[in-house]
């Protein structure tokens, strides 16, 4: 699977299926601070990602009205 990471922008490749949580563990990223998008759709931590999936990992950005 191709994984596009933001901030800094880079692309990595993984073979074999794995859960979203396992992918983030392997990338040393926290689940609470990142969104995982598969083929354009936000997916939960227990979703299984496959070899053919296009994955994007984005940091969660929060802001307040100020």
Q: For 17-51, write each residue's pLDDT tens digit.
A: 999 999 999 999 999 999 999 999 999 999 999 99
Domain annotation covers residue 64: no
Q: Is residue 14 part of a domain?
A: yes
d(CA 4, CA 6): 7
The pLDDT of residue 61: 80
User: Does 66 fall in a domain?
Assistant: no
Tell whether 49 is covered by a domain.
yes
Terminal CA-CA length for the chain: 40
- What CATH number should be reported for the domain holding residue 8? 3.10.20.30
Q: What is the DSSP letter of 15?
A: -
Q: How many whole angstroms separate alpha carbon 31 and alpha carbon 3?
A: 15
Q: What is the average per-residue pLDDT within 55-59?
A: 95
Please tell me the total count of domains within the chain: 1
Q: Is residue 37 part of a domain?
A: yes
Residue 24 lies in a domain: yes
What residues make up the domain containing 49?
Answer: 2-59
DSSP 26-54: HTT--GGGEEEEETTEE--TTPEE-TT-E
């Amino acid at each position: 699977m191709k994984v596009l990471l933001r901030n800094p922008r880079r692309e990595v490749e993984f073979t074999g299926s794995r859960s979203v949580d396992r992918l983030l563990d392997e990338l040393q990223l926290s689940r609470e601070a990142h969104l995982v998008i598969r083929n354009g759709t936000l997916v939960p931590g227990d979703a299984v990602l496959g070899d053919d999936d296009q994955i994007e990992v984005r940091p969660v950005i929060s802001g307040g009205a100020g």
